[in-house]
Structure 1
Amino acid sequence: MKQKLHFRSYLMLLNGISILIILVSVFIIYRYMLLSWNEYRIITSITIGAAIISLGVHALLIHPLAKWLRVLSDDTERVAQGDFNIDVPQIGPREFQQLAGQFNRMSSRLRNMFEKLRASEEARSELIANVSHDLRTPMASIQSFVEALQDDVIQDQATFERYLQTIRLETQRLDALIEDLFQLSRLDSGVIELRQQSIAVDSLILEVLQSHFMLLTEKRIEVKVQVPDDIGRIWVDDFEMKRALGNLLQNAIRYSPHSSTIVFEASKRSSNFVELSLKDQGPGIAEQELERVFDRFYRSDPSRGREGGGGAGLGLAIVQSIVRRHGGELGVESRLGEGSRFWLTLPPNRIV
């Protein structure tokens, strides 16, 4: 195998060759009687002395650069093995510093990319697990009730009707879950094209409330609507925005106690952004859970979703996708025992 020179040895060899060329040149000049013996001896001595000093200076200057190159080589090997938590020191000449900066930026981009891939893989695994659970639970209930009916285990009519009602509710729950998954998938893929139009804010809120009249009536919930006269109009996809606000309202109704109040408010923010918010009197959300409430399948109280009192944990994720596609933002403010306030902002102009 061919032996390769190290960087330091290579530069020292080049320096030695340069000095040897000088010595040979001086000797040739002497041979052709262009220099006397004394002149030749003096020049040779000066050249050898300069060579020794030059080699020493080269050794001192090259040592930190060679050390830096060894560090870069070792760090490159670590990156090749999958370790991206590396920062090469930016020392030496400007070109070396630029190289170190480029290497660190590459390492940082690779680190961020792999962190996103890892998070995506974890989210995919969690999504599959949650979907499997949420599909399996109602399917198991339906199967057990259907088998009981087929085996003529149920004799009285009241129990028979209750079993049929349970099967119907679990079927509706499955249908809602599949619809939410389908909707979320379409939003993520960009298949749904926004058909924006100018809509009055008060009319939008009124239509959302009318579609949830029965749910509000069942829990005897009062809704206070606060809309300024000068709020104006907004450019939104009518269907998608009603779905987003409807999901927020359903969430507020679900966690609101009976005979409580929900405040539906519209206001103007800076840059003429319009803010729509819903505030309930529910149990509130713990501070450590606020960052996760918009995650898919996340429930602040998982038991409520399993027992049928809550959703599958996709409603708020759908709201977030819709709001982002409109160029707005979504947020929540909440404290335990003080209810929750969900808000979204919408730009005043059409999103191209």
Structure 2
Amino acid sequence: MIRWFEYMERIIRSSLQIQLFFLFILGLYFINSAHHPGSSFIILIIFLGVLFSLVQAKTRQLREMTKAAKQIAKGDLTFRVQANSLDEVGQLAEQINIMAAQLQQKIEAERQNEQMKNDLITNISHDLRTPLTSIIGYLHLLQEQATELSEENKKHLAVVYQKSKHLQELIENLFEFTKYTHHDVVLQHELMEMNHFIAQLVDESYPILVEENCQLIEHYHPTPCYMMADPSMIVRLLENLIQNAVRYSDSPKKVTIRVWQETEHVLISFRNPAKKVTPEQATQLFERFYRLDTSRSSKGSGIGLAIVKSITDLHQGKISAKVESGDILFTISFPSVTSGTSPSVG
């Protein structure tokens, strides 16, 4: 957009130069037509002064419009240009102001719509959590006392219980996603050493590794890797990535976790076999409700990795996913700190 305004500035400036040139020729004509040499000199001085003032005024307006374009491009849609004339320059200034106002209204409307959507999801999730928890509790109780049921009814009861648990997980994910994408979310920063933190979390994930018959390979940095973060959010982020890698790894299942440190960043990567994932699909994995397997039998909700992306953004980190030699590789980068950094609340 800035380039467009600079282009328009050059066009208008060229137009002004052409107009001023003809005015100058016209002035010379009147000067040559004057009968007194002294008065001709005075007319020339006055004429050049008027030309200079006109050029300065128009150039000042053009610079102001270029400044406005740069401010708008940076996101300051409240910036306005003073339209001090009714010529082409003044009309262009007015159009810049109209464009900025329209953009501001559109962005505000989109923000309000997004907030209303998040509030709706939050309210629905909250209203469903309590009755669903009661339903799951009663189903679990029925399973424990189902000795008199036929084998077929036991299977039906098990399916209902499993589907209810899946629905509960989906609702929790929706609730968490709206919480992490809320603009007013507050992070409880603490100093974290990621080698030890991830190793402990991996130990706690042992049951799912056994259940999925998944091999886990760990590589940790030889020295401590410190960062400031909200531990509860980082736990959720890492749990989602571990579960995603284990559940969707191709057979034989294998997940490789690596922690290392570069100049000013702590990096964490998760790698697992995923030959069916294309590079194009990898770029969409962090979109809300996106699923590789769109069949109704898929257990995924399409929210887990979106939550990972939101938590990463809240910590001023970066995350990427790419296909590499038949594997899917997730890499997260967080700003690192020294061990002497004092914890703070953000």
Question: If the length of structure 1 is used for normalisation, what is the TM-score?
Answer: 0.57
Structure 2: unaligned runs, 5 residues or longer? 1-84, 143-147, 338-342
Paired residues of 1:284 and 1:339 also in contact (CA < 8 A): no
Indicate whether 1:348 and 2:336 are aligned.
yes
Secondary structure of the corresponding residue to residue 213 of structure 2: coil
Indicate whether 1:321 and 2:310 are aligned.
yes
2 CA distance for matches of 1:116 and 1:190? 14
Match of 2:285 among 293, 297, 307: 293
1 CA distance for matches of 2:99 and 2:257? 48
Structure 1: unaligned runs, 5 residues or longer? 1-92, 150-154
CA drift of 1:105 comes to 6.6
Decide which structure has the larger Cα Rg and report it: 1
**Aligned residue type for 2:290:** Y
**Aligned residue type for 2:330:** F
1 CA distance for matches of 2:101 and 2:245? 41
Secondary structure of the corresponding residue to residue 205 of structure 1: helix
CA drift of 1:238 comes to 1.2
1 CA distance for matches of 2:120 and 2:293? 20
Indicate whether 1:339 and 2:327 are aligned.
yes
Paired residues of 2:225 and 2:266 also in contact (CA < 8 A): no
2:155 paired residue number: 162
Structure 1 residues 218, 331: CA separation in 2 closer, same or farther (over 3 Å shift)? same
CA drift of 1:179 comes to 0.8
Indicate whether 1:197 and 2:197 are aligned.
no
Secondary structure of the corresponding residue to residue 189 of structure 1: coil
CA drift of 1:331 comes to 1.2
CA drift of 1:317 comes to 1.0
Question: If the length of structure 2 is used for normalisation, what is the TM-score?
Answer: 0.58
Secondary structure of the corresponding residue to residue 162 of structure 1: helix
Indicate whether 1:279 and 2:241 are aligned.
no
Match of 2:256 among 256, 260, 263: 263
CA drift of 1:275 comes to 1.0
CA drift of 1:256 comes to 0.7
**Aligned residue type for 2:318:** E
Paired residues of 1:219 and 1:258 also in contact (CA < 8 A): no
Structure 1 residues 293, 106: CA separation in 2 closer, same or farther (over 3 Å shift)? farther
Paired residues of 1:284 and 1:340 also in contact (CA < 8 A): no
Q: How does 1:1-352 map to 2 (within 5 A)?
A: 96-97=88-89, 99-100=91-92, 103-104=95-96, 106-107=98-99, 110=102, 114=106, 157-190=150-183, 192-270=185-263, 272-303=264-295, 306-307=296-297, 309-334=298-323, 338-349=326-337, 352=346
Paired residues of 1:231 and 1:267 also in contact (CA < 8 A): no
**Cα RMSD over matched residues?**
4.0
**Aligned residue type for 2:331:** W
CA drift of 1:191 comes to 5.5
Equivalenced residues, count: 240
CA drift of 1:167 comes to 1.0
1:62 paired residue number: none
After superposition, the C-alpha distances for 1:254-281 in whole angstroms (9 at most, x for unaligned) are: 11134332110112234x1111110111
Secondary structure of the corresponding residue to residue 327 of structure 1: coil
After superposition, the C-alpha distances for 1:146-183 in whole angstroms (9 at most, x for unaligned) are: 9xx9xxxxx97222221111111111111111111111
Paired residues of 2:216 and 2:256 also in contact (CA < 8 A): yes
1 CA distance for matches of 2:299 and 2:115? 21
